[in-house]
Structure 1
């Protein structure tokens, strides 16, 4: 699934811009910019671009996580991941409201 497959997306994505961090296994954490999020996954910018589809990672979105995820697609330095367990209601709302507050302070 690539970024142009929006017609088959199962849930709405919410555009955000927050710092995140991922790691593969017990590897060194890598800082990323999370670009959008949904209950089932997110998309982020990885300046090193070293992930491949199928890779298992854990990711933090702001202060939330680690969340187990699988890389579904990579296009250059943009990576799409699917969460092992969807994040629902209050947790997703917290991420969105935390980010909205951050946007107002700039």
Structure 2
């Protein structure tokens, strides 16, 4: 769990998919998540702060989110509406928490 946040963010490994407007859907690994947002690796790394997108988190979604920052292909987004508590807990309990796999998505 990341420290110093208003909402705790938990490390995880779950496949996601985002789409901006009518653009092409991009598959991304989600690396951290809280009820109010998440962080994912986007190898294209071209999302600008303020961009609105829809995001699938495993089988959940689409969730409307806004890009808050993008650095070195890592993107931080804030959800338009916080995830419902039981949905958030379901995602956390059903995903692969293997740190070795998570490391494979980090940029060099």
Q: TM-score range by the shorter chain?
A: 0.7 to 0.9
CA RMSD of aligned residues (A): 1.7
Gaps of 5+ in 1: 1-5
Does 2:20 match 1:24?
yes
Gaps of 5+ in 2: 99-108
Cα distance in structure 1, aligned partners of 2:48 and 2:72: 11
The residue that corresponds to 1:83 in the other structure is 79
**Where do 1:2-81 residues align within 5 Å?**
7=4, 9-81=5-77
Q: Normalising by structure 1, what TM-score?
A: 0.85
Q: Deviations over 1:30-80 (max 9, x none)?
A: 010100100100000001111010000000110100000000011110000
The residue that corresponds to 2:93 in the other structure is 97
Match of 2:68, SS state, is strand
Q: Which runs of 4+ in 1 moved over 6 A?
A: none
Q: Greater share of helix residues, 1 or 2?
A: 1
Q: How many residues align?
A: 97
Match of 2:31, SS state, is strand
Once the two structures are TM-superposed, the CA of residue 88 in structure 1 deviates from its matched residue by: 2.5
